[in-house]
Structure 1
Amino acid sequence: MQYQTVLSDVADDAVRAAIGAPLRAYNESQMGGRDYLPLVISVMNEAGEIEGGLWGHTCFGWLYTQLLAAPSEALGQGLGKRLMEEAEAEARARGCIGAWVDTHSFQAPEFYEKLGYQRFAELSDYPPGHSRIFYSKRLDGKAELDAAPRLLQGERLRLRASALSDAETFYPWARDERVMRYMEWPMPQSIAETRAFFRGNAERWREGDCHWMIEDAASGLAYGSLGCRIAGHQADFGYLLAPEAWGRGIATEASALLLEWLRGRPEIERICATTDIDNLSSQRVLERLGLSREGVLRKAKRRPQLGNAARDAAIYGWARE
Structure 2
Amino acid sequence: MSVTITTTPTEAEIEIIRNGLREHNFPHLGHVYRTDIACFTEDEHGVKTGGLYGEIFGHWLMVKFLWVDKNRKGRGLGSDLLLQAEAFAREKGCQACLLDTFSFQAKPFYEKLGYEVQMILHDHPVSTERYYLTKSLV
User: TM-score over 0.5 for the alignment?
Assistant: yes
1:43 aligns to what?
41
Rg bigger for which structure?
A: 1
Q: Distance in 2 between matches of 1:51 and 1:129?
A: 30
Q: What does the per-residue CA deviation read over 1:61-97, in whole Å, with 9 as the maximum and x for residues that have no partner?
A: 2111111112233322222111111000000011111
C-alpha displacement of 1:128: 1.9
Q: Residues 152-231 of structure 1: matches in 2 within 5 Å?
A: none
2:59 aligns to what?
61
Q: Distance in 2 between matches of 1:11 and 1:22?
A: 16
Q: What does the per-residue CA deviation read over 1:271-316, in whole Å, with 9 as the maximum and x for residues that have no partner?
A: xxxxxxxxxxxxxxxxxxxxxxxxxxxxxxxxxxxxxxxxxxxxxx
1:33 aligns to what?
31
Q: Is the 8 A contact 1:28 1:34 kept in 2?
A: no
C-alpha displacement of 1:4: 1.2
2:114 aligns to what?
116
Q: Distance in 2 between matches of 1:118 and 1:63?
A: 15
2:131 aligns to what?
133
- 1:18 paired residue among 16, 21, 25: 16
* TM-score of the pair, normalised by structure 2: 0.91
Quick one: which amino acid aligns to residue 92 of structure 1? R
- 1:7 paired residue among 5, 16, 20: 5
Q: Distance in 2 between matches of 1:72 and 1:17?
A: 34
Percent identity, aligned pairs only, is 33
Unpaired runs of 5+ residues, structure 1, are 141-321
Q: Distance in 2 between matches of 1:86 and 1:24?
A: 30
- Between the two proteins, the alignment pairs up a number of residues equal to 138
Q: What does the per-residue CA deviation read over 1:43-70, in whole Å, with 9 as the maximum and x for residues that have no partner?
A: 1111111122111121122111111112
Q: Distance in 2 between matches of 1:131 and 1:77?
A: 26
SS in 1 for 2:82: helix
Q: Is the 8 A contact 2:104 2:128 kept in 1?
A: yes
1:98 aligns to what?
96
Q: Distance in 2 between matches of 1:108 and 1:23?
A: 32
Q: Distance in 2 between matches of 1:21 and 1:53?
A: 28
Quick one: which amino acid aligns to residue 25 of structure 1? E
Higher relative contact order (CA 8 A, sep 6+): 2
C-alpha displacement of 1:34: 4.4
SS in 2 for 1:136: strand
1:80 aligns to what?
78
1:107 aligns to what?
105
Q: RMSD of aligned C-alpha atoms?
A: 1.4
